[in-house]
Amino acid sequence: MKTLDQISALKPAILIPGHEGPGAKHDLSAIAFMKKYIADWDANVACVERRGGDAGARGQAVSGPGDGVHAQRSGRRVLPRRE
């Protein structure tokens, strides 16, 4: 989050993400999206932990809004959502 705040403070006219999905924006709204994505991810991981488990070990998906690309946060193996 600190890095996203630093990038935002620079007020860039164009942002070029390392990964992007269809409809991605190349303006400061991309930072707001990423902040929400990280907050949602952390909330999902916390929910699984409160339930006493490791989602990856039980084969459950822990995901945020995205196109199937899942970061590995909190040191747990994360599996893609199965439709």
Residue-wise pLDDT tens digits, 14-73? 998 888 888 888 999 999 988 999 999 999 998 888 888 665 554 455 454 544 444 444
DSSP secondary structure code for residue 51 in this structure? T
Q: 55: exposed, middle or buried (C-beta count within 10 Å: 0-12, 13-18, 19+)?
A: buried
- Predicted TM-score (pTM) of the model is 0.56
Query: How confident is the model at residue 49, as a pLDDT?
Result: 86
Q: Please write the tens of the pLDDT for every residue from 3-28.
A: 999 999 999 999 988 888 888 889 99
